[in-house]
Amino acid sequence: MIPEFPVRVSQALGNERVRRNIRRTMDGLVLKRHKAFPDEHELAVLRRRGKLIRGHALAHLPDLLEELERNCQRNGIQVHWAETAAEGNALVRDILRRHGADLVIKGKSMVSEEMGLNHYLEAQGIRAVETDLGEFILQLGDERPSHIIAPAIHKDRVEIAQRFAAHFPEYPYTEDIEGLTAIARRIMREHFGRAIAGLSGVNFAVAETGTLCLVENEGNGRLCTTAPQVHIAVCGIEKVIARLDQLPPLLTLLTRSATGQPITTYVNMISGPRREGELDGPREVHLVLLDNGRSRIHGDPQLSSTLRCIRCGACMNHCPVYSRLGGHAYGTVYPGPIGGVLEPQLQGLDRLGELADASSLCGACGEVCPVRIPLPALLRRLRAEGVRGRQGSRVVGQGSRRKPLHRLIWTLWRWVNAYPSLYRGLTGLGTRLRWLMPKHLGPWTRTRSAPALAPRSLHELARSEGFRGE
Amino acid sequence: MEKPLSVYFFGTCLIDMVLPQAGLAAMRLLRREGIEVIYPQGQTCCGQPAYNSGYDAEARTVARCQLDAFSRDIPVVVPSASCAGMMKVQYPKLFAGTPDQERAEALARRVVELTDFLARVLDWRPVDRGAPLKVVLHQSCSARREMGVADAAKDLLARLAHLETVEPDHAHECCGFGGTFAVKQPEISAAMAADKADAILATGAQVLVSQDAGCLLNLGGTLERRCPDAAAQPSPRPAVKHIAELLWERTHDS
Ligand code: SF4
């Protein structure tokens, strides 16, 4: 059982080491992004473009998905549809079984995390080996990613060195990054040589050409998608875009927002299995398109903007809450502001509605999002649906976060503030009786001194200084 | 916007009850510039606390009260970017599709945050009568983002000849107030406030100012706890003031 959110928050805030690691990396990523967009005007233009391209794709989603399927099939890619994570898992298993694969090498894929694919396959007797360095480190400790693009940022070099030493005693102990990478590379290479199947995610799927685009920095993605006989790509249905010429602006937004890179070291454009006469490449390419709640989100005109997300992670990097908690405290696959918006929609407000409260609504996420998702507005809307519900909304768990006490407080608040004479009477009384005010005001005064009520309210002062009161 | 003959002043509920001297300072500043300042006695709260907690109906009822109180076609000056943002950016959304939509949009157009009004509309050029002082400026998230008026506060302070103004490390980051956030997520809020308070202390400034009373309450309270001895060395605790108080203090004949 994962402990409740407030418990996880306490644990996260109490872990100095993790906090330091995360903060350091977040500060670094924020700075890199900042430097990558030196021209504010260009950034504004690009973000508008990004929003339009993704918005256009979502507006034509069913048609584009059909076009994608047709063009993929024409390219020799086998297309499969999964409505749920369970269906997706079963599809992947069947493909692997058909080829007698007991091992699959994996490039980084958040959708496979969402499906819980690794554990599912393991229970089916198939070993899934992560080959992204961060994911590889986490898999050794059966940990979940704490960030969507930098999964192991909560770990520092020394922790990684110790973990390697425990798992690979045959290699000499090192804390040197090059040395650690070399060990990982050597171990992975054995898997690359042996595996007959590789699995990857997809950053963008181009409908017009039936091309799957995948960006990465380590080359492991290229190996997973080209070295084995079979390549399986898992992809959320929202990742489709209409045309190939829409890719460059999205890619530059993605990489610059994510890591500040003008482009990643590897940009893989996958357009089918090995053709006649070609010397390498997989014999089979499969595309598994996963819905898993996305079409429900898509049906809501405002919430569907959630699906514009290109998973750059910038909203997390800039979030003052995420940068103090790290991803694990959220207890979900997608953490941070996008997690607070997406996860309650995927899993219901009754289960995860509290994540929408884990924001001061400071607006930092909305300000940096490369596709201009109005994250603060969506968080606020989900709060409202949690406490009251909204007619016609398809988000599960409407009104499930209603608490009678809160309801009462806000009703009283409304009474006081909706009747100016009552308000003036009470504030006047409050300032006069301010010595009665408690020194302890619940959570507020745990770390702060209590605010003192003024001897006279501004209403009174304004009157006595002769300001017209209308 | 041109310099108006009269303006409304929306004091905000927080300033009304906890920091009225800031509201009064702002109104005096405006009056001294020859503007008639009207403080409708029918004003209460902008409604943001309920709105941000998801209680839209309650927020709307209270917000409607402000539509009534500020009905004439003159600017509404607000000494808080957060409350100004609520009225300027959120009211049109809150009342969309209701009979009050037009009134809400009209009010939204008339709302001006105080420092923005002083710096841009009045192009206020004060004479600094104060002694040299080091000030640390904390800008609220609403000032930076929702309202986009962070430049105004900086500008105003720069126009005071004897001030040295600095910003804390991680200046762009939220102080952790967030209205009901501070109560709903007390631990996260406290962690954010603690970091901000330390960054403020590290500047060694004598005074902390902001255009938002919420941040000041949060940071002032946290500073007091983290640094109980106000004169502690090497970084004494700064005095905490709303920017309007500082501007008034340093520019009026006493
Ligand atoms: S919501 Fe925006 S900022 Fe956050 S990961 Fe998605 S695209 Fe990036």
State which fold the B127-251 domain adopts: Rossmann fold (3.40.50)
CATH 3.40.718.10 fits A59-292, yes or no: no
Cβ contact, residue pair A417, B13, below 8 Å: yes
> Does pLDDT of B230 surpass 90?
no
> Does pLDDT of B229 surpass 90?
no
Residue A224 three-state SS: helix
- The string of DSSP codes covering chain B is -PPPSEEEE---HHHHHT-HHHHHHHHHHHHHTT-EEE--TT----SHHHHHTT-HHHHHHHHHHHHHHT-SSS-EEES-HHHHHIIIIIHHHHTTTSTTHHHHHHHHHHEEEHHHIIIIIS-------SPPEEEEEE--HIIIIIS--HHHHHHHHHTSTTEEEE--TTTTS--S-TTTHHHHSHHHHHHHHHHHHHHHHHHT-SEEEES-HHHHHHHHHHHHHH--STT-SSSPPPEEEEHHHHHHHHHS--
Cβ neighbours around B153 below 10 Å, total? 29
**Is residue A369 in contact with ligand 1, taking CB distance under 6 Å?**
yes
**Is residue A310 in contact with ligand 1, taking CB distance under 6 Å?**
yes
Residue in chain B closest to A449 (alpha carbons) equals B221
What pLDDT does residue A451 have?
86
Cβ(B240)–Cβ(B208) below 8 Å? yes
Contact residues, chain B, for A315 at CB < 8 Å = none
What pLDDT does residue B162 have?
97
Confidence (pTM): 0.96
Residue type, A222: R
Cβ contact, residue pair A467, B177, below 8 Å: no
Cβ contact, residue pair A446, B190, below 8 Å: yes
Cβ contact, residue pair A364, B43, below 8 Å: no
ipTM of the complex: 0.96
Contact residues, chain A, for B40 at CB < 8 Å = 469-470
What pLDDT does residue B226 have?
87
**Is residue A314 in contact with ligand 1, taking CB distance under 6 Å?**
yes
Tell me the nearest-neighbour CA distance from B10 into chain A, angstroms: 10
Tell me the nearest-neighbour CA distance from B112 into chain A, angstroms: 19
Residue A343 three-state SS: helix
Task: Give residue A373 CA to ligand 1 midpoint distance, Å.
Answer: 7
**A249-303 pLDDT tens trace:** 999 999 999 999 999 999 999 999 999 999 899 999 999 999 999 999 999 999 9
> Does pLDDT of B234 surpass 80?
no
**A127-184 pLDDT tens trace:** 999 999 999 999 999 999 999 999 999 999 999 999 999 999 999 999 999 999 999 9
Task: Give residue B8 CA to ligand 1 midpoint distance, Å.
Answer: 40
**A188-200 pLDDT tens trace:** 999 999 999 999 9
**Is residue A227 in contact with ligand 1, taking CB distance under 6 Å?**
no
* Integer-rounded Cα radius of gyration of chain A: 26
Cβ contact, residue pair B23, A325, below 8 Å: no
**Is residue A378 in contact with ligand 1, taking CB distance under 6 Å?**
no
What pLDDT does residue A2 have?
57
What pLDDT does residue A446 have?
87
Cβ(B14)–Cβ(B180) below 8 Å? no
A290: Cβ contacts below 8 Å, ≥ 6 apart:
A82, A85, A88, A111, A114, A115, A234, A235, A236, A237
> Does pLDDT of A242 surpass 90?
yes
Mean pLDDT score, B111-127: 97
> Does pLDDT of B227 surpass 90?
no
Mean of the per-residue pLDDT values of chain B? 96
Query: Which residue of B44, B56, B185 is in closest CB contact with A423?
Result: B44
**A59-78 pLDDT tens trace:** 999 999 999 999 999 999 99
What pLDDT does residue A435 have?
74
Residue A204 three-state SS: strand
Cα separation, A119 vs B205, whole angstroms: 55
- The string of DSSP codes covering A25-79 is HHHHHHHHHHHH---HHHHHHHHHHHHHHHHHHHHTHHHHHHHHHHHHHHTTEEE
Tell me the nearest-neighbour CA distance from A350 into chain B, angstroms: 15
Residue type, A284: E
What pLDDT does residue A444 have?
84
Nearest atom in ligand 1 to A314's CA: 3
Contact residues, chain B, for A388 at CB < 8 Å = 54-57
Mean pLDDT score, A97-125: 97
Where are the domain boundaries for CATH 3.40.50.10420 in chain A? 59-292
State which fold the B6-120 domain adopts: Rossmann fold (3.40.50)
Question: Which neighbouring-strand residues pair with B242?
Answer: B210
**Is residue A311 in contact with ligand 1, taking CB distance under 6 Å?**
yes
Percent of chain A surpassing pLDDT 90: 93
> Does pLDDT of A3 surpass 70?
no
Tell me the nearest-neighbour CA distance from B245 into chain A, angstroms: 14
**B125-136 pLDDT tens trace:** 999 999 999 999
What pLDDT does residue A434 have?
75
What pLDDT does residue B96 have?
97
Question: Which neighbouring-strand residues pair with B210?
Answer: B138, B242
Residues 392-431 of A with CB under 8 A from B: 406, 410-411, 413-414, 416-420, 423-424, 427, 430-431
Residues 223-282 of A with CB under 8 A from B: none
Which protein residue's CA is at the shortest distance from atom 8 of ligand 1? A312
Tell me the nearest-neighbour CA distance from A169 into chain B, angstroms: 40
What pLDDT does residue A1 have?
42
Cβ contact, residue pair B174, A320, below 8 Å: yes
Mean pLDDT score, A359-380: 98
What pLDDT does residue B231 have?
78
**Is residue A371 in contact with ligand 1, taking CB distance under 6 Å?**
yes
Mean of the per-residue pLDDT values of chain A? 95
Among B168, B231, B179, residue whose Cα is nearest residue B203 = B168
